[in-house]
A = this chain, B = another copy of it.
Amino acid sequence: MRLNELYPQYSVDMVLEEPAGEDGADVDAAIVAYPHGAAAPVVAALREQGTKVVDLSADFRLHDLDTYGRWYGEHGAPQLLDESVYGLTEHNEEKLKGARLVACPGCYPTAVLLALLPLVKQKLISIDDIIIDAKSGVSGAGRTLKQNILFSEAGEGVSPYGIGSHRHVPEIEQELAFAAKAPVAVNFTPHLVPMSRGELCTCYVRLAGKTTANEVRAALAKAYAKSRFVRVVEDGVVPATQHVRGSNECHIGVFADRIPGRVIVISAIDNLVKGSAGQALQNFNVMYGFDETLGLEQLPLFP
């Protein structure tokens, strides 16, 4: 099939082919974008031939097989979990260098963890009281034919979904627990918003001790001082998904809460770039020691 039969918008002359079988031995690296469950055997076959893999599915993100099973069913290649590196680029750069299998984070975990991981690591916030109110564009649900993502159903309205039972929750909790070295249970409430792309996570967290909102902002700014893609916006500037559309950027803002001892951390990404294909490419770049911005220097498209 030619690329522009599937996507008529691309003039690029390219033929899509079935992934090579035995010939795969010639393939140095593969970016795998199969559905959850279907990815595992494909990745396993590639790894057996020595091909390095950047995987976009959930199959190699969760390290606990029971947890995986509860959300996605039986695992197709558990033997590979040990070598899998969680591809939240900014937080795993060292491990990604030379990695053989990278599990790219889900879109929501990307936005949430970029906002909260530095704060949990530095014990600036309580891990018992993390409330994440997330808003996502409709492409977050994929291209599958489902009634709720038809234009006339999703348009002109906002609705929550998967309350308390979204499969990105175990992934968020796993990574926060690694950072906190203690179990974490978060509130994660996603909402469907009538736009095609973009994700905004409004995180309501309790400050540890006498930490202030300004200290939280400073800590995040320091953590991402050298990052090309994560930008902690100045006091008074408000993150918006319009500001990252089509780019690999993540904008993070910090705001004081009227409730004493609390703070609001807000992050915005484009779920299809930093939340998916863009981060996969970024991981690939880091894995091979390339400049991490290769192929990713596109500015946000606005409006």
Contacts and interface: CB of A to CB of B under 8 A. Distances in A.
Interface of A: 7-12, 128-131, 133, 135, 137-139, 143, 145-147, 149-161, 163-164, 169, 185-189, 191, 193-198, 200, 202, 204, 231, 233, 237-246, 249, 255-260, 262, 264, 266, 272, 298-303
Nearest to A4: B237
A198 B156 CA distance: 8
Given A187-B264, A195-B194, A197-B303, A241 B159 contact: yes
A146 B260 CA distance: 33
Contacts of A198: 156-158
A301 B158 CA distance: 15
A133 B135 CA distance: 11
Contact of A163 (B150, B238, B260): B238
A303 B128 contact: no
Given A151-B149, A152-B143, A131 B259 contact: yes
Contact of A204 (B139, B147, B204, B302): B204
A249 B69 CA distance: 41
Given A164-B258, A187-B262, A191-B202, A240 B147 contact: no
A118 to B, nearest CB: 19
A159 B233 CA distance: 14
24 contacts: A9-B244, A9-B302, A129-B259, A133-B202, A139-B303, A149-B150, A150-B151, A153-B242, A155-B194, A156-B195, A158-B193, A158-B195, A158-B198, A159-B238, A160-B202, A160-B266, A163-B238, A187-B204, A187-B257, A187-B258, A187-B262, A193-B194, A246-B246, A272-B303
Contacts of A237: 8
A7 B302 contact: yes
Q: Is the interface of A mostly helix, strand, loop or mixed?
A: loop
Task: Give how many copies assemble into the complex.
Answer: 4
B8 A243 contact: yes
B258 A185 contact: yes
A154 to B, nearest CB: 4
A204 B131 contact: yes
A87 B151 CA distance: 29
Given A193-B193, A202-B191, A10 B300 contact: yes
